[in-house]
Structure 1
Amino acid sequence: MSQLKTHRPLVLASIMAAMFMVAIEATIVATAMPQIVGQLGGLQFYSWVFSAFLLTQTATTVVFGKLSDLFGRKAVLLAGIAVFLVGSVLCGFAWSMPSMIVFRLIQGVGAGAIQPVGMTVVGDLYSAQERGKIQGYLASVWAISAVVGPLAGGLIIQHASWAWIFWINVPLGLLAAVGFVRYLHEDIDRDHRRSIDYTGAALFTVAIASMMIALTDVSTAPWLQTSLVTALFVVSATLFIMQERRAPEPMIALDLWARRPIAAANGASLLAGMALIGLTTFLPMYVQGVMQQSPLVAGFALTMMVLGWPIGATLAARILGRFGIRRVLLAGSLLMPVGAVVFASLGPNSSPVVAGIGSLIMGFGMGLLSTTSLVLIQEIVDWSQRGSATASNIFARNLGSTLGATVFGAVLNYGLARSGSANGVSSEDLRRLLDGSAASAGLDASVRAVLEHSLHLTFLAVLVVAIVTVGFAALVPAITLARRPAPAN
């Protein structure tokens, strides 16, 4: 940090504002999308409004992490906020669903800079002993956005144009940018000549984007299209590895990613991300379709996970010094299969409270695991690699969500197709069941039985992934935290 004083509380407030802007985007857009697609048309592009954002966010996360190591955190954060706000303004002016998708891609690029670099700034400013508490604050931002987003989206749709769900980002982003400009100060070696691996960055982005497209569309796209996209991934990934081995300053330091603590922690984060997306995707379906509870009850059951995460992250701050990173990380990973067992044991007559308890346990475990894995990774590298290391962990978690949605969706479809009924269960049958508009009690019961069996298989798959998460966490070696002085406020 520079000789000018960095005001940590105000920088943290700016980080939280910027992250809230990104976090609320998912829930608020989901609430408004039916009205947006009703006005713009193009229902066949509905899912791509969400996929486009996640696509560029995940693909650029690691690139911006590296750029923050080269040019400093402030410059990359301000650039990310600017890109995100440009995308937000353009989304409000979208005239068709294809144009909306293009502008969401722009938004995702900005989000790809904001999240990892904001977390890296926290690693720069706060010691490991302080950081767990700060991670709890940041986790609460995502929890609050999950609650506020649908409410805000509903109010905006009811009383104003849907464009304002995007335009409300502008004041938040500007406030965050002002906070970074005024209160975040860094010492950057301006005279050192930096070599930017543009080729590596481009190849990595193409590889990850093509992989995510293939995973997202594997069950719906024509076979030829999926094959071509998969081939593009293989070719670009191969060229990327060759490029990084010969680049003087590679965009992705393969030796950094291969270090045992980082590889094990990122592997655990990836698998935990898979397990968590299985919970968030299929628990509401089980509570509504099998337990015959209302959407409100299903939402409360899932909200327990959102509540458990910041509690676990905050507790990690208090026990890291006493028990050490490895033990806390292992404890968090062990809670993942404990929560998954609860879901695997659910039945039609189970109480939604039981589902909420399982959700709370998994969220609490994820809070412990995500905080300790990030602290570990940030502590074993120096400033010049902290952005890349932080981004690698966030990238692993995001990639896990994509893989989980694909894998568990395939398990569900397998169960539905091999349900034992004569004609299987169609998506229309499921829609009518979840809407409460089944044609008859007999159809309702049969579809519910098939759904129960299929979701049980899905929860068993979540349990298997959670158990493997423990195996990766066990590979993390013991790390002693160094006490470094905190910058002056």
Structure 2
Amino acid sequence: MNKPSFVKLSAAETHKVVLGAMIALFLAALDQTIIATALPSIGSDLGDFHLMAWIVTAYLLTSTAATPILGKLSDLHGRRPIMRISILIFLLGSVLCALSPSMPFLILARALQGFGGGGLITLAQTVVADVVSPRERGRYGAYFAGVWAGSSLLGPVLGGFLTEYASWHWIFWINLPIGLVAILITDRILHRLTGRGGARRIDYASVLCFIISSTSFLLALSWGGTEFPWVSWQIIVALACSIVTGSIFAWRQRRLDEPIMPPRFFSDTVVTPVLIAIFLVFGAYLALAVLVPTFLQLSLLQSPRDVGLLMIPLLLSSTAGAAMSGQYIHRTGGYKLPTLLGLPLAIACLVLLGILATQATPMLTAGLLLLTGLGIGPIFPIANVAAQNAVDRRDLGAVSGAISFARALGGAASTAGGSALVLGLMVAMMPARAADGGLTEILSHPLDAAARLDLAHAYTIFFFIVAGILAAGLLAFSRIEQRPLQDRRTVDTSAEAG
């Protein structure tokens, strides 16, 4: 008898699980952005301004490393205990953050919080795959894309409001009631999503190697060009450590019964190109979200408030693109066409933006970003649907963790690379200012017309490169094998026939 690839629940139970998963994802996503507007107040209270960037970096490092590990553990031990543990770790980290007496203590608490957040990101996607058939998952994937966009918009605003009218401690205290609601909603139902019987041991030597490898790589990306030169011994040692421990991890994975990232994923004609495509496309998307505001503010002379408004079209249109692709998946059972049509649109808009960078207006830039987001958005739900449909139910947590890890790694790599490119070009094009004080001197004063033109030329190159990354992502995505998506009717029929 063929077993369904999802656990059959009533409609009310399914909606409750999805709502709880969305709240859990909102928690993890919100804490990536809510901190931004509170950083000056935190630095003023706790001192050690030179460590302030680590408040963000610590969360990024541990959440990225946690995604595949906790996804695999949920395959072995069930979603309920790992979801509960992830939320409790996140809430414990939040309490410690709120009570932090010093900057080093806060950084360690953020690292703990990030580890729980990484589990929430993976499990939110996985539990939906457990209770919703592949053909229906696209619609729910669009909801999750909306959660990401909503947290990106709400986080800085909420963080600023709480910091101004209460204190920065409340950006962490607010997580407690939200997290408890997520537990209450999902806990009673998730006990039906059991883990596998038989072998339950996970290779903790592999876990250690994976954490060291991914953390070392992300540290190299975070430090390069900011804390240390790219060719410094610190960056070289970090990259070497990442390569060595990553090689040991890969070697051990091929010899284990329960690998964290099963090697069969990397020979699958769906999973492999999905991982490559989401690494490239999400990386390009995040590079735009992080670096275009500098172009708007310095080259187009927009205020910080107006920059925030001008970036909204990119965020909202990507959510709209995700929603449209989810509906397409539900109606047709196919998943390739929306991305095959959307990414060329995004590439064309970025090429045009690069050509027009030296004469662009704020509204033209926002309009092209809107179309770019519309073209990129479809891949976000499609990546999860295609990869989860390609694996057995026993690997849903592992493949969801792998996708989350590829997204995070792509975002970190592209943001670091894009920042290094833009800042390097700015220094090269403004040698007089750079000679006086480097990048700090460039960014600390308004630019004259000639300097703004130089910056626009730098962004011309940036937009062309991002378009090239999207083209590479399109090529990888085009290699994905189109496999039929099961819906509840086909699964139930096959089960009865068996």
Comparing 212-221 with 99-108, greater Cα deviation is found at 212-221
Quick one: which amino acid aligns to residue 235 of structure 1? Answer: V
CA distance in 2 between partners of 1:187 and 1:265 (Å): 26
The reply to whether residue 430 of structure 1 matches residue 430 of structure 2 is no
Alignment check: 8 A CA contact 2:47 2:103 kept: yes
CA distance in 2 between partners of 1:306 and 1:241 (Å): 36
Alignment check: 8 A CA contact 1:419 1:453 kept: no
Out of 408, 417, 433, the position equivalent to 1:398 is 408
SS of alignment partner, residue 481 of structure 1: coil
Correspondence for 2:103? 97
After superposition, give the CA deviation of every residue in 1:164-192 in whole Å (9 maximum; x if it has no partner): 10010000001101111123342536752
Correspondence for 1:318? 327
Correspondence for 1:121? 127
**How much has 1:24 moved relative to structure 2?**
1.4
Alignment check: 8 A CA contact 1:127 1:484 kept: yes
Out of 450, 471, 487, the position equivalent to 1:467 is 471
The reply to whether residue 32 of structure 1 matches residue 42 of structure 2 is no
Q: Superposition pairs for residues 360-439 of structure 1, below 5 Å?
A: 360-419=370-429, 421-422=431-432, 424=434, 426-433=438-445, 438=446
Gapped regions of structure 2 (runs ≥ 5): 1-5, 493-498
**How much has 1:250 moved relative to structure 2?**
1.7
CA distance in 1 between partners of 2:156 and 2:275 (Å): 31
Comparing 141-150 with 174-183, greater Cα deviation is found at 141-150
CA distance in 2 between partners of 1:57 and 1:389 (Å): 16
CA distance in 2 between partners of 1:96 and 1:241 (Å): 38
Alignment check: 8 A CA contact 2:339 2:376 kept: no
Quick one: which amino acid aligns to residue 417 of structure 1? Answer: V
After superposition, give the CA deviation of every residue in 1:266-321 in whole Å (9 maximum; x if it has no partner): 11101112211221122111111111122222212211111012211111122124
**How much has 1:402 moved relative to structure 2?**
0.6
**How much has 1:99 moved relative to structure 2?**
1.0
Out of 198, 204, 213, the position equivalent to 1:207 is 213
Quick one: which amino acid aligns to residue 176 of structure 1? Answer: A
The reply to whether residue 235 of structure 1 matches residue 239 of structure 2 is no
CA distance in 2 between partners of 1:410 and 1:479 (Å): 40
SS of alignment partner, residue 288 of structure 2: helix
Out of 12, 16, 26, the position equivalent to 2:22 is 16
CA distance in 2 between partners of 1:409 and 1:3 (Å): 46
SS of alignment partner, residue 221 of structure 1: coil
Q: Superposition pairs for residues 240-279 of structure 1, below 5 Å?
A: 240-279=249-288
Correspondence for 1:197? 203
Aligned length: 479
**How much has 1:114 moved relative to structure 2?**
0.5
Comparing 475-484 with 414-423, greater Cα deviation is found at 414-423
The 1:429–1:261 alpha-carbon spacing in structure 2 relative to 1, beyond 3 Å, is: same
**How much has 1:424 moved relative to structure 2?**
4.2
TM-score by length of 1: 0.93
Alignment check: 8 A CA contact 2:93 2:109 kept: yes
Comparing 119-128 with 33-42, greater Cα deviation is found at 119-128
The 1:250–1:189 alpha-carbon spacing in structure 2 relative to 1, beyond 3 Å, is: closer
After superposition, give the CA deviation of every residue in 1:43-69 in whole Å (9 maximum; x if it has no partner): 111211111101011111111111111
CA distance in 1 between partners of 2:46 and 2:207 (Å): 34
Quick one: which amino acid aligns to residue 440 of structure 2? Answer: E
CA distance in 1 between partners of 2:458 and 2:185 (Å): 49
SS of alignment partner, residue 301 of structure 2: coil
Out of 475, 481, 495, the position equivalent to 1:477 is 481
Comparing 363-372 with 329-338, greater Cα deviation is found at 329-338
SS of alignment partner, residue 444 of structure 2: helix
Correspondence for 2:84? 78
**How much has 1:366 moved relative to structure 2?**
2.6
Correspondence for 1:58? 64
The 1:27–1:3 alpha-carbon spacing in structure 2 relative to 1, beyond 3 Å, is: closer
The reply to whether residue 221 of structure 1 matches residue 231 of structure 2 is no
Alignment check: 8 A CA contact 1:272 1:336 kept: no
Quick one: which amino acid aligns to residue 295 of structure 1? Answer: P
Correspondence for 1:287? 296
SS of alignment partner, residue 260 of structure 1: coil
CA distance in 1 between partners of 2:228 and 2:56 (Å): 17
CA distance in 1 between partners of 2:423 and 2:163 (Å): 34
The reply to whether residue 88 of structure 1 matches residue 94 of structure 2 is yes
Alignment check: 8 A CA contact 1:278 1:459 kept: no
The 1:12–1:232 alpha-carbon spacing in structure 2 relative to 1, beyond 3 Å, is: same
Correspondence for 1:449? 453
Alignment check: 8 A CA contact 2:434 2:442 kept: no
Alignment check: 8 A CA contact 2:358 2:457 kept: no
SS of alignment partner, residue 246 of structure 1: coil
Out of 312, 335, 338, the position equivalent to 1:303 is 312
Comparing 163-172 with 151-160, greater Cα deviation is found at 151-160
Comparing 45-54 with 240-249, greater Cα deviation is found at 240-249
Correspondence for 2:496? none
TM-score by length of 2: 0.91
SS of alignment partner, residue 478 of structure 1: coil
CA distance in 1 between partners of 2:219 and 2:267 (Å): 26
Quick one: which amino acid aligns to residue 462 of structure 1? Answer: V
CA distance in 2 between partners of 1:257 and 1:343 (Å): 35
The 1:144–1:454 alpha-carbon spacing in structure 2 relative to 1, beyond 3 Å, is: same
Quick one: which amino acid aligns to residue 302 of structure 2? Answer: Q
CA distance in 2 between partners of 1:294 and 1:191 (Å): 58
CA distance in 2 between partners of 1:225 and 1:189 (Å): 42
Correspondence for 1:356? 366
Alignment check: 8 A CA contact 1:291 1:347 kept: no
Gapped regions of structure 1 (runs ≥ 5): none
The 1:420–1:431 alpha-carbon spacing in structure 2 relative to 1, beyond 3 Å, is: closer
Alignment check: 8 A CA contact 2:333 2:485 kept: no
Out of 156, 166, 169, the position equivalent to 2:162 is 156
**How much has 1:482 moved relative to structure 2?**
1.8
CA distance in 1 between partners of 2:220 and 2:430 (Å): 30
SS of alignment partner, residue 418 of structure 1: helix
Correspondence for 2:348? 338
